[in-house]
Every structure is written in C-alpha cells, then in structure tokens.
C-alpha cells in the first residue's frame, strides 16, 4: 500500500499556524508534551494489562527513550506504551479530539488567545507543539496486542496535510522523530535536553533514558562506549514529603496531569490516615476550563492504587460542585482490579470522597481568610460551581455559605462582601438578610425596591448569578437569619410604621378598592407600601410567587 495524503481538519491547521507563528516563548515544552504523552501511553497499557497480560508483549517495564542524531538534525522520542492503530492515529493526530470544537475555534480567533497564546494549552494541544521547533514530524507506532505488520507511519510538515502509511514495527508503542528547524538546533544537545527533562518531567514514573557516549580508560586503552543513562528521578511526587517538593515541581506536575499551561492557584498535598489510607495531591486551577459547564466535562482526580494508575478521572472521589479539583489520589487499601461499578458502591471510596471534600472546603476557608487576592481570583473562576453545593450537599451548606461572596448596596462596584460581614453590619433592629436578584448591579441599583432599605441603612445583597435565587431558597437562613427578597411580599422594615400603615390602609380603603377595580385582573391586590420613599408606586411579587429574575430566566428558556 502506498502512502495516503490526508487533509488536516481546518481547526488543526489553524492551531498549527498559531503555534508556528505566534508562540515564541518556552518552545522547549515540546519535549514535556511528548514525554507526557509517552507516559500516558504507558499508564494505559499497564492498566489494560491488569486484565490482559498479553498486551505487555513480554516487556514489563515502561520506558521512554530520547535519541539525538546531530547529523540528521533529529530528536527521536520513543515509548513502549499502548501505541496507536490507523484509526487512532487519524483521530488523535489529524483532528482535535475534543468535544468543544466550536468553542475551541472561537477561542483560537479571540483576542485573549491571540495575545496570550499559552492559553490554548487548556485545549490539550500537546502533540502539535512539536511544530514550534520541527519542520517535519514522523510518527511510527503500533498498537499493543496487534501484529507487527499493523504498524502505521504518520508524517507531516504542518502545511495543511499529512501522509499515512502502513509499516512493520516489532515493538509495541510509539516513536516520534522531529526534524529540527534550522534555528532550533540548540535542542540537539544532550545537556540542553537533560536540563529540560529535569525541569519539566523529573517526576515521570517511568525512566526517561538517553544514549550517551563516554570515553572509558586512558591513553591507548581509551575507547568510546555508549550507555543508556536515566535522566529523571522518577519519584511519585504525591508520595514524597511536602518539604522535599519545590513549588516548581508541584506546578509542572499539575500541568502534566491537568493538560493546562497555567500554574495552579493552590496546591493541596496531604496523607490521610485512619479508616482509609491514601495520599492526595490536589490542585485548584487558576482558570476555569472552557468546558466546565458541559455535560461531557471530565470530573475527578486520577486514581492510583499503590502507584498503579487505575482511572484518569475518578468522578466518585469528588462531589459535582468541586468538579474543578484536579490531581492524584493514591489509595493503599483498594484492590488493583477495581472497576467503575465497584468504585461507585465502595465504602472506602465514599470515605475518601468525604475527607477530600472536607479538605478542599477547609482549604478554601483558609484561602479566604489568609490569601484574599488568591481567593477572589478563585471565586471569580469557580464561585458559580461551588455554589451548587448549597443545594446538592445540604449537610455542608453552612460551610459553603461561609465561602460565598456578593456585591451589595454597601460595597463599591466590583468589590465583594460575605455573609459574615453582612451580619456584622446589621443594625440591632434588622431581623433578616435582604437580597435582590438581577442580571447586573447597574440595573438593580436604581430599583425603587431599594429606597426604604437605603433610608434605614440596611444592606441589600446583589445576587447576580442565574442560580442565586435557587441557592437562596436552598440556604433559607444564615446564622439563623432568614433570607428575604427585597422585591417579594410585604416587607416591613419598621414595627412602629406598621401600626400607622394599618390605620392608613383602613382610611384609604375606598381609594385602594377603586384602583384595584380599575386595574382588574392584572393585579392580585393593591395595598399601601412601606418600602417606597421617592417613587409613587411599584409592582411586587407575592411571597409565594416566583422571583422576577427567575421568571425572566424561565421565560427566556421558553417555559
Ligand atoms: P492530550 O495528551 O491532551 O490528549 P495530545 O495532543 O498531547 O493531547 O495528544 C493527542 C492524542 O494523541 C493523545 O490523547 C493520544 O491518544 C495520542 N497520542 C499522542 N502521543 C501518543 C503516544 N506516544 N502513544 C500513544 N498515543 C499517543
Ligand atoms: Mg498530551
């Protein structure tokens, strides 16, 4: 069979153009990306071999090899991982195998990404980063468990198309050869590559080796020998002592597992003892991934059992409202051959999920107290998700309520307050926590509903997220104070006035009845109001009616 030429999907070529023409810094990360893929591929074959040992093809240990050929100006990275068949290659290296392709293309064109090209990292574009440094890339690969003749060669110069052909490859796994561009030849140096491996990939579990030439003996006996040297320390970073891990190592490991280019906002590293023993290295990312609200979003840390990777996204380890948490959890107790079904019902896993949830919420509490800026950053990205917990995790709703932030009539524009300080500001006679929902602060600030509150000096929280109304009804109270919507029902801010209002209501009975008759069916009731100061009248929802903001949302959804 002769080689077949195939076109890249449009978005791939767009991505490649962006890679080649606008990414200039940190080009050395191409090596990290290739090593990371090789390590993932070995994880996969290791895991599958637990139930099908033939897949290892007699090669028990994972290994990643780097070879430099100065004359040919090439660097070759090979692994003995799972490998790919033809379909895998076309899917993985010809498209962007991602559910949110539309968003991805939009992002590619957006100014934010054009100005900060490293942001495309969040879309998992690892392999294509090779084209920052290589003029041509050749991939030779053969899937574990399939015959040697079923190998595949893929080749491209990033010029809109690639070729694909069959080959024979004795060993399973993948071998990727980069022909370095003329001005990227500095990478063809063993010391440069060693440095990059140490810096970005030291924690990789499998040995990363390189052939190095050494002179042995002296004088006439001197001879050149080639030997394989291991470049990385291979320590599972999550099993190390905290004091032995540098911030940079933590960050690099995060980028490897989260497929993110940005440093995380927070590292949580601990060992749980007692009923379930496990090590956890968890991260709070600093940016929300674009697919956080998609159904296909992959949830949960990677699960290891005694250093063997079992599952990349173990969704049983975190509640949905903490789905932004990334990392690794390594259990000492679970059996190696756990399946997804077993995990769902496993009490040990349930216990792990509980302690992880508590740990993450405690950490957020500490961040809020001690690292305000970092917390604000986190909240801006993930506050909406965290809030869901108020509704879905009733046992922890008070803890989560402590973490909430809002703008209010008492904050400057763009500044946030929390419920603790709301309670702290309450005048002695104020009984409830008042809030108003809407799409923006500007829209709400002029609201006639707020007049009486302003006059009394009562703070009203602006709830601007769509789900806030939902959250407040789940929360109901905070520190025994009831939440009251500033736009619902009959709000009495003042007991004394209440008496006067009753008298007035009697006195103007006829007038009110007249107005009600005029307006007819379009209103339920006409009454005097204690809430208005400057405006002559306003519409209010009944206590049991839907919040006007909620009504708008449902209407817009066609309900
Ligand atoms: P990601 O690693 O985030 O999935 P990449 O662009 O780095 O994105 O890789 C794309 C896909 O190509 C991988 O998901 C994997 O399926 C496949 N792949 C890349 N390198 C290898 C390899 N060395 N062995 C097996 N599959 C690989
Ligand atoms: Mg990758």
pLDDT at residue 312 greater than cutoff 50: yes
Angle, vertex CA 550, rays to CA 548 and CA 477, nearest 5: 95
Res 17: pLDDT: 84
Choose among 308, 303, 255: nearest CA to 276. Answer: 303
What is the number of the ligand 1 atom nearest to the C-alpha of 81?
24
Amino acid 519: pLDDT: 75
Instruction: Choose the residue to mutate in 37, 104, 152, 204 for probing ligand 1, maximizing ligand atoms within 8 Å of C-beta.
Output: 37
**pTM, entire model:** 0.68
Span of 65-69, 369-373, 454-458, 500-504 with lowest mean pLDDT = 500-504
Residue 25 banded pLDDT, cuts 50, 70, 90: low
Q: Which atom of ligand 1 is nearest to the CA of 77?
A: 23
The predicted pLDDT at position 548 comes to: 60
Q: How does pLDDT run across 148-195, given as a tens digit for each residue?
A: 999 999 999 999 999 999 999 999 999 999 999 999 999 999 999 999
- Residue 226 confidence (pLDDT) above 70: yes
What residues does 177 pair with on adjacent strands? 76, 138
Contact 135, 157 (CB under 8 A): yes
Block residue for tokens 């604000």 = 376
Q: Tell me what ipTM this predicted complex has.
A: 0.99
- The predicted pLDDT at position 10 comes to 83
As given in the structure block, the two tokens for residue 41 are 């591929």
Residue 135 has pLDDT above 80, yes or no: yes
Strand partners, 490: none
Whole-number Å distance between alpha carbons of 413 and 440:
11
> What band does 99 get if pLDDT is binned at 50, 70 and 90?
very low
CA of 260 to the centre of ligand 2 (A): 10
Whether 38 and 79 have beta carbons less than 8 Å apart is answered as: yes
Which residues are 283's β-sheet partners?
267, 326
Instruction: Give the residue, by CA position, lying nearest to ligand 1 atom 14.
Output: 92
Ligand 1 neighbours (beta carbon < 6 A): 33, 37-38, 41, 79, 81-84, 92-93, 124-127, 174, 259
Band (pLDDT 50/70/90 cuts) for residue 456 is confident
The mean of the pLDDT values for the chain is: 86
How big is the chain by its Cα radius of gyration, in Å?
31
Q: What's the average model confidence in pLDDT over 197-207?
A: 86
pLDDT band at 418 (very low <50, low <70, confident <90, very high): very high
Which of 330, 298, 317 has its CA nearest to residue 359? 317
Q: What is the sign of the dihedral through the CA atoms of 31, 36, 38 and 39?
A: positive
Residues 291, 98: Cα–Cα separation, whole Å: 10
Which of 221, 233, 18 has the alpha carbon at shortest distance from 110? Answer: 18
Centroid of ligand 2 to alpha carbon of 77 (angstroms): 14
Ligand nearest to the CA of 312: 1
15: left (phi over 0), alpha (psi -120 to 50) or beta: alpha
Tens of pLDDT, residues 498-541: 666 677 667 777 777 777 777 777 777 776 665 555 666 666 66
**Average pLDDT score over residue span 36-64:** 92
- In Å, the largest CA–CA distance within the chain is 121
């Amino acid at each position: 069979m002769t080689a077949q030429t195939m076109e890249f999907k449009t978005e791939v070529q767009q991505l490649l153009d962006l890679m080649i023409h606008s990414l200039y810094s940190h080009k050395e990360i191409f090596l990290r990306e290739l090593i990371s893929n090789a390590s993932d591929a070995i994880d996969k074959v290791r895991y599958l071999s637990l139930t099908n040992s033939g897949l290892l093809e007699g090669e028990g240990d994972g290994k990643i090899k780097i070879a430099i050929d100065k004359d040919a100006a090439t660097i070759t990275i090979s692994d003995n991982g799972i490998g790919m068949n033809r379909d895998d290659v076309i899917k993985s290296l010809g498209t962007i195998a991602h559910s949110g392709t539309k968003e991805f293309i939009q992002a590619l064109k957006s100014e934010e990404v054009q100005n900060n090209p490293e942001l495309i990292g969040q879309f998992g574009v690892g392999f294509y980063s090779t084209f920052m440094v290589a003029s041509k890339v050749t991939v030779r690969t053969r899937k574990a468990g399939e015959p040697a003749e079923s190998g595949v060669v893929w080749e491209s110069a990033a010029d809109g198309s690639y070729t694909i052909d069959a080959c024979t490859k004795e060993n399973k796994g993948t071998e990727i050869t980069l022909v370095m561009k003329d001005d990227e030849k500095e990478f063809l140096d063993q010391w440069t590559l060693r440095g990059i491996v140490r810096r970005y990939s030291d924690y990789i579990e499998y040995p990363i080796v390189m052939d190095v030439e050494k002179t042995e003996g002296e004088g006439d006996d001197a001879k050149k020998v080639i030997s394989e040297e291991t470049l990385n320390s291979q320590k599972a970073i999550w099993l190390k002592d905290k004091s032995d891990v540098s911030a940079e190592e933590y960050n690099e490991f995060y980028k490897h597992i989260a497929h993110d280019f940005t440093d995380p906002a927070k590292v949580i590293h601990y060992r749980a003892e007692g009923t379930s023993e496990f090590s956890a290295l968890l991260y709070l990312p600093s940016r929300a991934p674009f697919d956080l609200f998609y159904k296909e979003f992959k949830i949960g840390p990677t699960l290891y059992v005694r250093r063997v990777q079992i599952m990349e996204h173990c969704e049983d380890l975190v509640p949905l409202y903490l789905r932004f948490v990334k990392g690794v959890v390594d259990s000492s107790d679970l059996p190696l051959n756990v399946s997804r079904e077993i995990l769902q019902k496993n009490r040990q896993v349930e216990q792990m999920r509980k302690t992880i949830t508590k740990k993450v919420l405690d950490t957020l509490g500490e961040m809020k107290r001690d690292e305000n800026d970092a917390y604000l950053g986190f909240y801006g990205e993930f506050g909406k998700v965290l809030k869901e917990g108020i509704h879905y995790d009733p046992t922890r709703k008070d803890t989560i309520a402590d973490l909430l932030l809002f703008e209010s009539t008492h904050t400057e524009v763009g500044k946030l307050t929390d419920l603790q300080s709301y309670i702290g500001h309450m005048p002695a006679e104020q009984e409830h926590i008042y809030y108003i929902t809407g799409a923006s602060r500007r829209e709400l600030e002029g609201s006639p509903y707020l007049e009486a509150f302003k006059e009394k000096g009562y703070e009203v929280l602006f709830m601007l997220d769509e789900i806030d109304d939902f959250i407040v009804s789940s929360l109901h109270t905070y520190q025994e104070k009831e939440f009251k919507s500033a736009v619902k029902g009959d709000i009495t801010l003042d007991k004394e006035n209440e008496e006067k209002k009753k008298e007035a209501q009697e006195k103007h009975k006829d007038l009110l009845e007249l107005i009600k008759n005029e307006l007819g069916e379009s209103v339920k009731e006409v009454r005097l109001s204690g809430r208005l100061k400057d405006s002559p009248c306003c519409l209010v929802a009944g206590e049991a009616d839907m919040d006007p903001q909620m009504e708008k949302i449902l209407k817009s959804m066609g309900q």
